[in-house]
Amino acid sequence: MLQQVALITGGAKGIGRGIALDLAAHQWKIAFCYRTSEADAQSTATAIRNQGGEAWPILCDVSDPDAAKSVVVQVEQKWGRIDALINGAGPYHRINLLEETVDGWIEMFDGNLHPIFYLAQAVAPGMKTRKAGRIINFSMANADQMISQPDVTAHYIAKAGVLILTRTLAKLLAPYGVTVNAISPGFIDSGSAPPGELASMTKRIPAGYIGTVDDTVAAVRYLLSDDARYVNGANIQISGAWGI
């Protein structure tokens, strides 16, 4: 039986690392992209190999369309296929909209939305030919509410766009046996936010506690499984009922 191959963006740390390690435990081959976290990438690669998986950390800025397409070609040439594309990369910053810079505005779209388009276009031909594949995109827990977000406006609009792009790709690729779904985390203890900030949010979460990386990984595991073969265009919120 052929080992399955995953390409994960933002796989060096946090949720992406958690997904990589979970797949490694099931003997997947894992290519993951990183931009600046060289030490984290090497640590994750070692952990993947210790779990029994094959690891290939790739320095790549997927906000560059040529680089994004190139990384897909590299993985397909090396391992012959990509069974799962997991779009986990996504920069974030907090600033009032009226103080946002043009560069900061563009960065949120270049980092959170555009790479999904580039990478999905690049992996689609192979998945269509094999009539199988999984694409999982990351949005945010309240992005479907379309509410005002004065301090994270560009990021929020980009994450809302992820949901529209997910549904569109799902409809286009479903005839070929490919599923495209979104996962929308709320407050997750993934190492990206200060502990104090997370603790202050607990009282606003109906479940009463902060989510873990494992909570998110479990949703990914489900969407990659045969149990989810008919789940397509969905948005799974991992938020303890926050943001609904």
- Residues catalogued as catalytic: 156
Ramachandran class of 99: left when φ > 0, alpha when ψ lies in -120 to 50, beta otherwise: alpha
The C-alpha atoms of residue 24 and residue 26 are separated, in whole angstroms, by: 5
SS3 242: coil
Angle at 83 between CA 119 and CA 240, to 5 degrees: 80
User: Which structure tokens are listed for 97?
Assistant: 């909209």
Helices (DSSP H) in the chain: which residue ranges?
A: 14-24, 38-50, 65-79, 102-112, 114-130, 153-173, 195-201, 213-224
Q: How many other C-beta atoms can be found within 10 angstroms of the C-beta atom of residue 185?
A: 22
The C-alpha atoms of residue 123 and residue 7 are separated, in whole angstroms, by: 10
Q: How many other C-beta atoms can be found within 10 angstroms of the C-beta atom of residue 153?
A: 17
Describe the chain by its helix, strand, coil percentages, rounded to 5.
50, 20, 30
